[in-house]
Structure 1
Amino acid sequence: MFVTNVERREERKGPPAGGRALDLLGKMERNEREYDETIAYALALASAWSYADPQALHDVMNSLGFENRCYAVTLSNDAVSARTSASLLQHVDGSAAILCFRGTEPASTGARLADTGVEPARLHAWKAVQGGVHSGREPMARYIACRLKRAMNGQSIVDEKGELVSVDAPACSDATGEPLEHRLKALYITGHGLGGALAALAAAMIFEDKEHEGIRDVVRGVYTYGQPRIGNEIFARRCQDTYGRLLFRHIHANDLVPMFPPPSIGTFEQFGHELRSSAAGWVFSEQPARRADTAPFGSTVDVLAWVKQRLPLVRRLQRPFSSDEHAPHRYVSVSQRSLRLRRSELGLSLGRLRG
């Protein structure tokens, strides 16, 4: 509902990105693995709407001109505190796809911090990976890998001919329906919060496992929003060397989540490009986000953030950390502003050239 209200406010101002005028599919196909404001806005919306049902996510991306089929799967195991949801959106002509991971529910701050406050696990030879992230990776991999294989072969990712949304489908077969117009040319991976961590880890798997070697050439970008650190120094260095140039991490204001896990958990490091919110939208940052000292401190700041939002007299106080800034709609808002300003700049540049 938090995103719905924001979108309604945006609609009253006029379409932020011109609806189908975004030419989202064209930009995704033409993009040479560089940062793109249009794609960043679209993926911020996808990450935010991944918290809704798959039909809503499908419809929102359709409204941007990305006509798609959506395969969604949710796996949970209360015994190991693991719950993972992912959606793969394939353009109807087969040429592009978005792999989107859902994060921890934004209202559940305690659960969100718990996701980052666990013992490290290991990802093959890549050394330590955050345990809360790793537990969500293994069960999901085989489901998504099969659907990506279909896309790479120019086949529909859903099971029934003419079907647009498939939820928690049974075991994946190798072929389905009529061949599509194109094989997969451009894959984008995204997620918010823990979903961003899973997106970064999914990219690591693609660039690590030989069985996914064919997919590497079509990965055009990994865009994450409010993503926590996911691995130690060795893991981060390896990811940086293999696909770090494709990872764009967005951090809104003093969002607490990218500052976790705390040092007490281990020497977890960030990698890829970092973008911070500003009056001009997203700007690249040379300095990585600092780290929160302890989870209890973060929880205390959550309470202060809640108070600040509701008491006008203390709204001017500055906080060093805030998980209130982690809300998905804040990332959508900055991405929208960044796109609008970029379009204005391009319009001015074209005007000068014509003049």
Structure 2
Amino acid sequence: MKTQDCVAPDYGYLRPMKRPESATFPVYKKLEEILTDTTEHPDRVIAHTLATCSGYAYSDAATVAMIMARVGLEGNHCRQISQDVDAMFICSHAYLVQSSDGRVVILCYRGTEPMNFINWLTDADVNPETVAVPFADPPVSFQVHGGFYRNVRATRHEVIHALERALEGRSVRAKGKLMPHALEALYITGHSLGAAMAAMMAIMLRTEEAYAPLSRKLRAVYTYGQPMIADPALAKACDADEFLHDNVIRYVFGSDVVPQLPPTVSGPFAHFGQERHCGPGTSAVPVTQPTQQLGNLTGLVAAPLAFLTHQLRLFRNLPFQQSLYDHGPQHYITALTPAGVNSEYGDPG
């Protein structure tokens, strides 16, 4: 198990620098208050904030802390908890970003790295695993994606211990120093594999009695390009839970193929929660019919082909029903940036 702790800057040191007036940080001046006080989801500021966090989770704790400080959580405490076991198809990376006042924590899971073969094997490790989920007493058994479930469990206990420190008014970092306030608002997020892990952790928090104190602080789960994690029976049970139905928000960009995975040849899977579609030049819109499972393997062939043709100007506008190019986290960040809002680099919106 590896951990990395850091504290983000407050960006006061940037003010003397010569740069355009529009390139000011933080992007959101009162982000702690927005994250703490918002009661209805999805919220466009929070969707943009968590998409940005999910995109930069492909880096390290120092980078995540810096970017989240730019977005609005200046002076945040950031902890990375990781476990890699290639033979077990485990590549689990969780980031805990805690506001400087201690009231807000974002739990962000890193997604699938395109060049990391072990991650792809994790996603392909779809052999269902039967787990007892205590939606009722006694718990009912359901089937979940084995690879996603294994990756959540790999770092779960360390993540929970850090969140419990936040509940006690301490830092999520290993030193655990006192914070001005105890945890009031918890958000979970991720892109791709990270999105699947976020959804899986949400189910655990909502159903495990031992996690009830943390569940009461959970405000929402925002995922981006999330594959399916549960069999249809578990998805139905999740949708019967008011919180999971209303406050798990899944964003799908363009023709992103990953939300249609695993394909039906791997067994039956289904989504739960709210689904919102976004694309180039369009705002996120809700859908009444959730994304369906990929019915055959031709889409898996077309998806990388769409990525390749996008690199060639002559073929860039060819229509594809499934696209790996549209899965990129940068597309989600761009599509969910509100009009007139600066980017994490300070570029004017």
TM tier, shorter chain? Answer: 0.7 to 0.9
What residue in structure 1 maps to residue 126 of structure 2?
118
CA distance in 2, matches of 1:47, 1:251: 14
How far has the Cα of 1:248 moved from its partner?
0.5
1:126, distance to aligned residue in structure 2 (A): 4.6
- Segment of structure 1 superposing worse, 241-250 or 102-111: 102-111
What is the match of residue 174 of structure 2?
Answer: 159
Check 1:273–1:236 CA distance in 2 against 1; reply closer, same or farther (3 A cut): same
Indicate the residue corresponding to 2:154 in structure 1. Answer: 139
User: What residue is the counterpart of 1:165 in the other structure?
Assistant: none
- CA distance 1:51–1:298, shift in 2 (3 Å): same
3-state secondary structure, aligned to 2:262: coil
Q: Report the Cα offset of residue 239 of structure 1.
A: 1.7
**Equivalence for 1:44:** 51
Q: For residues 68-125 of structure 1, what are the alpha-carbon distances to aligned partners after superposition, in whole Å with 9 as ceiling and x for unaligned?
A: 1011111011221111000111112110010000011034589537504521112323
1:81 aligns with 2:89: yes
How far the C-alpha of 1:244 sits from its partner, in A, is 2.0
| Distance across 2 between alignment mates of 1:240 and 1:342 | 33
Q: Which residue of 2 aligns with 1:59?
A: 66
Per the TM alignment, residue 299 of structure 1 is displaced from its structure 2 partner at its CA by 3.8
Provide the residue aligned with 1:171 in structure 2.
none
Alpha-carbon separation, structure 1, partners of 2:120 and 2:162: 28
Offset, 1:18: 6.8
Shift of 1:192: 0.2
Please name the residue that 1:347 is paired with: none
Q: Provide the C-alpha distance between the structure 2 equivalents of 1:302 and 1:195, rounded to a whole number of angstroms.
A: 20
Question: Number of matched residues?
Answer: 313
Between the aligned partners of 1:102 and 1:13, the Cα distance in structure 2 is 33
The 3 A distance-change label for structure 1 pair 311 and 12 is farther
Structure 1 contact 22–38 (Cα < 8 Å) conserved: no
In structure 1, the residue matched to 2:333 is 332
Q: Which residue of 2 aligns with 1:183?
A: 182
What's the counterpart of residue 167 of structure 1?
none
Instruction: For 1:275 and 1:138, locate their aligned partners in 2 and report how far apart those are by CA, in whole Å.
Output: 28
CA distance in 1, matches of 2:240, 2:118: 34
Residue in structure 2 matched with residue 351 of structure 1 by the alignment:
none
**CA 1:126/1:333 → structure 2, altered by over 3 Å: closer, same or farther?**
farther
Matches within 5 A, 1:144-293: 144-160=159-175, 176-177=176-177, 179-242=178-241, 243-278=244-279, 279-293=281-295
* CA–CA distance in structure 2, aligned partners of residues 341 and 195 of structure 1: 29
Q: Report deviation, 1:298.
A: 3.8
TM-score, scaled to structure 2: 0.84
Distance 1:60 1:341, change over 3 A: closer
Alignment RMSD: 2.3
Report the CA distance between 1:190 and its aligned residue: 0.1
Quote the offset at 1:213 in angstroms. 0.4
Which residue in 2 is equivalent to 1:34? 41
Q: Distance in 2 between matches of 1:322 and 1:12?
A: 37
SS of the equivalent of 1:88 reads: strand
Contact 1:33 1:220 in 2 (8 A): no
Q: Is the 8 A contact 2:77 2:173 kept in 1?
A: yes
Distance 1:302 1:38 in 2: 30
Residue 340 (structure 1) shift: 1.4
**Could you tell me which amino acid in structure 2 is paired with residue 288 of structure 1?**
P
Letter in 2 for 1:26: E
Consecutive unaligned residues in structure 1, runs of 5 or more: 1-10, 161-175, 344-355
Cα displacement (A) at 1:158: 1.1
Cα displacement (A) at 1:302: 3.4
**SS at structure 2 position matched to 1:137:** helix
**Cα separation, 1, equivalents of 2:39 and 2:256:** 30
* Structure 1 residue identity aligned to 2:93: S
1:321 aligns with 2:322: yes
Shift of 1:316: 2.2
Match of 2:3 in 1: none
Asked whether the equivalents of residues 117 and 265 of structure 1 are also in contact (C-alpha less than 8 Å), the reply is no
Identity %: 30
| Distance change in 2, residues 1:58/1:22 (3 Å) | same
Which residue number in structure 2 is paired with residue 128 of structure 1? 143
The 8 Å contact of residues 117 and 261 in structure 1, kept in 2 or not, is answered as: no
Are the structure 2 counterparts of residues 59 and 123 from structure 1 closer, same or farther at C-alpha, using a change threshold of 3 Å?
Answer: same
